[in-house]
Amino acid sequence: MKRQNVRTLSLIICTFTYLLVGAAVFDALESEFEMREKEQLEAEEKRLQGKYNISEDDYRKLESIIMEAEPHRAGVQWKFAGSFYFAITVITTIGYGHAAPGTDAGKAFCMFYAVLGIPLTLVMFQSLGERMNTFVKYLLKRIKKCCGMRITDVSMENMVTVGFFSCIGTLCIGAAAFSHYEDWSFFQSYYYCFITLTTIGFGDFVALQKNRALQKKPLYVAFSFMYILVGLTVIGAFLNLVVLRFLTMNSEDERRDAEERASLAGNRNSMIIHIQDESLQRSRRRREPYRTEVTDLQSVCPCMHYRSHDYGSSSGGIGGLGCAFSHQNSFSSQLNPNQYFHSVSYRIEEISPSTLKNSLLPSPISSVSPGLHSFTDNHQLMRRRKSI
């Protein structure tokens, strides 16, 4: 099984196991509190109905009116400041739920706006995160040089450490600010910042929803908008360091497998070529002795015509020192072109020096033509070939 399949299966098992563990923990922590709160609310409901003599139907109607009026307690939500706040929660996928479009046209435009805005925002935050990581890496390298450290390279551990503390610092700054403006505790403000910057957005804590803050506190509104955007950039930079590395592991493994397959195919082709080269070299080495024998034969009798389909060579007649062979009785006519002779020897009768000297002198009556040697009787040169 491929590593990608094993990793995917392991992630699925781990995710479902994590879900089961989380469900068990939340059940243990929240179940009893929920039952107690429900009992208290039912008791308060009966007390109010008895105190003000309100029927069940009137009470349900009053309850629905209060719930519908809840978003308007913070003031007007759909002026420019409130609409900008809502647009941020849409394209960043925070989705507090504190406000929602009430018209069909608004709902249709919200879907179209989210389809285009969410991918654009994700790409923007990822690009900003990469630029931020590059800048932090440059700063760390400069700091190491200023401190006189021998190793100035910035490791992944350094970047993850800086990113982690940057996230913690961003959450703490937001918690301090919102606890001051919203009258929340520091833990509640920290919880709100974490839920917001991780784009969970439960909506149980929402900033800018008290005392008509959207209309009366422009500086606080600007700070809230900038905090959300900058905080998401910091979180995105940290996720680029940690999470995206694991998200690209499957693609890296697939690329590595493709390179291995290409390398194996290349090695196989080179092996075939190498084997062919070795076979050709062995064939040439086998043919070399035969070529040498043919050369020896030609050196002994240069008038011989030796033809072979393997070598495709022929030797013509040479005038001067003649042999007692005619063109018709040449040794080449007696050889099979497809056959090699491994042992051929020739014996030529001894010739007197005077005869040899006369034979080397040019004769006016001698005629030499390529491939044919004519000898006169005046030379009285007799050669006899004996072959074994």
Highest mean pLDDT, choosing among 12-16, 296-300, 324-328:
12-16
The alpha carbon dihedral of 177, 178, 182, 185 has a sign of negative
First to last CA, the chain: 71
pLDDT value, residue 66: 87
CA distances to 125, 161, 165, 191 from 194, in Å: 17, 19, 14, 5
Q: Average pLDDT of 235-249?
A: 78
Q: Average pLDDT of 215-235?
A: 93
Give the DSSP letter of residue 275.
H
pLDDT value, residue 155: 87
CA distance 355 to 333: 29
H/E segment holding residue 22: helix 3-52
Provide the pLDDT confidence category of residue 330 given band limits of 50, 70 and 90.
very low
Identify the residue with better confidence: 88 or 73.
88
pLDDT value, residue 245: 66
Identify the residue with better confidence: 120 or 274.
120
Question: What does the angle CA 300 – CA 306 – CA 308 come to, to the nearest 5 degrees?
Answer: 140
Q: Looking at the predicted structure, is the pLDDT value of residue 290 above 60?
A: no
pLDDT over 90, % of the chain: 40
CA distances to 17, 19, 104 from 10, in Å: 10, 14, 44
H/E segment holding residue 346: strand 346-347
Identify the residue with better confidence: 313 or 233.
233
CA distances to 233, 245, 299, 366, 378 from 248, in Å: 20, 6, 74, 92, 99
Give the DSSP letter of residue 327.
S
Q: CB of 321 within 8 A of CB of 373?
A: no
Identify the residue with better confidence: 274 or 255.
255
Residues 36-51 have pLDDT tens digits of 999 999 999 999 888 9
Q: Looking at the predicted structure, is the pLDDT value of residue 336 above 50?
A: no
Identify the residue with better confidence: 54 or 275.
54
pLDDT value, residue 286: 63
Provide the pLDDT confidence category of residue 356 given band limits of 50, 70 and 90.
very low
| Range in 10-24, 62-76, 224-238 with the lowest mean pLDDT | 62-76
Which SS3 state, helix, strand or coil, does residue 372 take?
strand
* CB contact set of 142 (below 8 Å; sequence gap of 6+): none
| Range in 104-118, 131-145, 203-217, 342-356 with the lowest mean pLDDT | 342-356
Provide the pLDDT confidence category of residue 72 given band limits of 50, 70 and 90.
confident
pLDDT value, residue 194: 96
CA distance 85 to 217: 14
| Range in 20-29, 143-152, 340-349 with the lowest mean pLDDT | 340-349
Residues 122-171 have pLDDT tens digits of 999 989 988 999 999 999 999 989 988 888 888 888 898 999 999 999 99
Which SS3 state, helix, strand or coil, does residue 368 take?
strand
The answer, as to whether pTM is greater than 0.75, is no
Average pLDDT over the chain, rounded to an integer: 76
pLDDT value, residue 337: 43
pLDDT value, residue 99: 87
Residues 183-211 have pLDDT tens digits of 999 999 999 999 999 999 999 999 998 88
CA distance 112 to 106: 10
Identify the residue with better confidence: 375 or 164.
164
